Amino acid sequence: MSRLQLLRFDHAPALLAFERENRAYFAASVPDRGDRYFAGFDERHAALMAEQAAGLCFFHLLVDGDGGGEVVGRVNLVDVADGSAELGYRIAERATRRGLATAAVEEACGLAFTRYGLTALRAVTTLDNAGSRAVLARTGFVPTGDVDLDGRPGLRFVCNLPVATV
């Protein structure tokens, strides 16, 4: 069973491996992080940890309990303010179609409400990312409008917490 873990400093090597291993796969549906992300990864990781310590963001790794503790995804809550945050997530290519994204987003919604005191989450996805739209719909997010994501048409979503999951 996979579970979310709050990002720690010692997660850096596993997180970097996850991002490198899935870079091309992610770039097919979301903007590529670029070479600078990987070249400056240690500094970026330290900056993320500082943001998390300040309560501005909450970064989570989805760790596969059945697969030796490997990172199979991330679920992040960013831009925390006024009781809400933006949800973002990504699942490793080799771990797709197993319900992990839905379970991870459900778990993140629960954490957002019970641990972080949030009352709403926002998310965006491109129109051509049917899988992401389905995950958001299954986990209580409703579309609220159109958005342009680096030149690609997309949708904005919101989820009021707590949400009853299916």
Report pLDDT digits (tens) over 96-134: 999 999 999 999 999 999 999 999 999 999 998 999 999
Q: Which residue has the tokens 């796969």?
A: 25
Report pLDDT digits (tens) over 133-146: 999 999 999 999 99
- Phi-psi sector, 5: left (phi>0), alpha (psi -120 to 50), beta: beta
pLDDT at 166: 46
Question: Are 154 and 146 within 8 A, CB to CB?
Answer: yes
Percent of the chain with pLDDT over 70: 95
Sign of the CA dihedral with 75 first, then 97, 120, and 157 last: positive
CA distance 33 to 10: 21
Question: Are 123 and 86 within 8 A, CB to CB?
Answer: yes
Tell me: domain 2-160, CATH 3.40.50.11610, correct? Answer: no
pTM: 0.91
CA distance 108 to 140: 12
